[in-house]
Amino acid sequence: MSTTNPQSDAPTDATGRPVDRARVRRRSKQRRRIANVAGLMASLVLTGSLYSVLAPAQAADDTTSESAAEAAGRELYERSCITCHGENLEGEVNRGPSLIGVGEASVYFQVHTGRMPLVRQEAQAPDKPTIFSDEEIDQLMAYVQANGGGPTLPSGNLRDGDLAEGGELFRLNCASCHNFVGEGGALSSGKLAPSLKDTTDLELYTAMLTGPENMPVFGDNQLTPEEKRSVINYIQTVKFQADPGGAGIGRIGPVAEGLVIWVVGIGALMFGIFWMGSKA
Ligand code: HEC
Ligand code: HEC
């Protein structure tokens, strides 16, 4: 170890010449600065890539536990329904039943027809304009469906059924309460089977599927999805059908028809009599 040793006191450059110490110091300073910058960049890249690896995983976790719609639905629920249906949908004694397992179909029916949120405790939840937008109803449905499951909404054309079969099924299953042309009628204890005139296809379907209040549930074993579509086709067709005889007059029946003729006819006669009397 006699000749040029790079670690010796007198450093030499590649050509063996001794190097200028000041230049070396400057260079090593530069090298240190470069190392610092490189270190900083490396840590930035590392945090960046760590973030990009971890963040989507977190987002994915969120969607599996609660979607945005469910979260929004939970908020609506906590604002408008929790007092009667409980913190975890388990129901509240003397206020409201459990919603576990009722499914999005029941939520759709109850909220879309304006029955829920109930304002007062009554014999029967009144049918009134809904206070929620369609999007909010979807969110409430998502929340209830995700926390208990139950009957879901049907899809496709809900009138895609046999008209004659629908009429037969309607007379067998619905007419006893809702009357032959779906006008509705009074039931015992202040309850009422409402008119089906203003109901939508989806309300009809979900009413059959969930059986609100005194109405029986027509599950898919009692009325298959095809049979439900036939019933809907029948109800919605009858609503717009020409009347079988005489004037419609809201389809309140032949007695009322006679009454209308009586009142209008007598009215006209009286008018004529008074008119002639005033001329004389
Ligand atoms: C003031 C109390 C009250 C409030 C508030 C209320 N409910 Fe109800 N809810 C009831 C009662 C009582 C019933 C059962 C009687 C009935 O069906 O008319 C019921 C029934 C229901 C049903 C039918 C359950 C079944 O068995 O199919 C659904 C679904 C429902 N409520 C959803 C809601 C939603 C969603 C809200 C909030 C937007 C809400 N309710 C707010 C009292 C309430
Ligand atoms: C035992 C009597 C009974 C039978 C049978 C019955 N319903 Fe009902 N139905 C009711 C009652 C009571 C209500 C009101 C429930 C409420 O207000 O919560 C109702 C409500 C409805 C509604 C909601 C109407 C609205 O106000 O928007 C529809 C739709 C409906 N029924 C359709 C049917 C169809 C279709 C059938 C036959 C497959 C049927 N129902 C059979 C008693 C009955």
- Interatomic CA distance for residues 134 and 84, integer angstroms: 22
**Given the CA of residue 140, which atom of ligand 1 is nearest to it?**
35
- Is there a contact between 137 and 130 (Cβ–Cβ < 8 Å)? yes
- Is there a contact between 223 and 129 (Cβ–Cβ < 8 Å)? no
**Given the CA of residue 191, which atom of ligand 2 is nearest to it?**
12
Average pLDDT taken over every residue of the chain: 81
Q: Which residues have a Cβ under 8 Å from the Cβ of 178 and sit 6 or more positions away?
A: 184, 185, 193, 194, 195, 196
Give the pLDDT score at 264: 86
Mean pLDDT of 170-197: 79
- Interatomic CA distance for residues 47 and 53, integer angstroms: 10
**Given the CA of residue 169, which atom of ligand 2 is nearest to it?**
38
Q: Angle at the Cα of 163 (from 157 to 166), degrees rounded to 5?
A: 90
Give pLDDT tens digits for 190-208: 677 888 988 999 999 999 9
Smallest-distance ligand from the CA of 102 = 1
Give pLDDT tens digits for 157-168: 999 999 999 999
In this structure, the residue with its CA closest to atom 39 of ligand 2 is 174
Pocket of ligand 1 (CB under 6 A): 80-81, 83-85, 95-97, 99, 102, 106-107, 110-111, 116-118, 125, 140, 210, 212-213
Residue 43: pLDDT band (50, 70, 90) is confident
User: Rounded to the nearest whole angstrom, what is the distance from the C-alpha of residue 212 to the centroid of ligand 2?
Assistant: 7
In this structure, the residue with its CA closest to atom 17 of ligand 1 is 213
The CA-to-CA distance between both ends of the chain, in Å, stands at: 153
Give the pLDDT score at 50: 65
Closest by alpha carbon to 111, among 229, 217, 206? 206
Mean pLDDT of 57-86: 81
User: Rounded to the nearest whole angstrom, what is the distance from the C-alpha of residue 208 to the centroid of ligand 1?
Assistant: 17
In this structure, the residue with its CA closest to atom 37 of ligand 1 is 81
Question: Would you tell me how many other CB atoms lie within 10 Å of the CB of residue 73?
Answer: 27
Residue 42: pLDDT band (50, 70, 90) is confident
Q: Which residues have a Cβ under 8 Å from the Cβ of 184 and sit 6 or more positions away?
A: 177, 178, 192, 193, 194, 195, 196
Give the pLDDT score at 19: 59
pLDDT of residue 7 exceeding 60, the answer is no
- Interatomic CA distance for residues 273 and 234, integer angstroms: 48
Measure CA 245 to chain center.
Answer: 42
In this structure, the residue with its CA closest to atom 22 of ligand 2 is 207
Specify the length of the chain in residues.
280
Buried b (16+ CB within 10 A) or exposed e, 4-23: eeeeeeeeeeeeeeeeeeee
- Interatomic CA distance for residues 84 and 90, integer angstroms: 10
Measure CA 137 to chain center.
Answer: 4
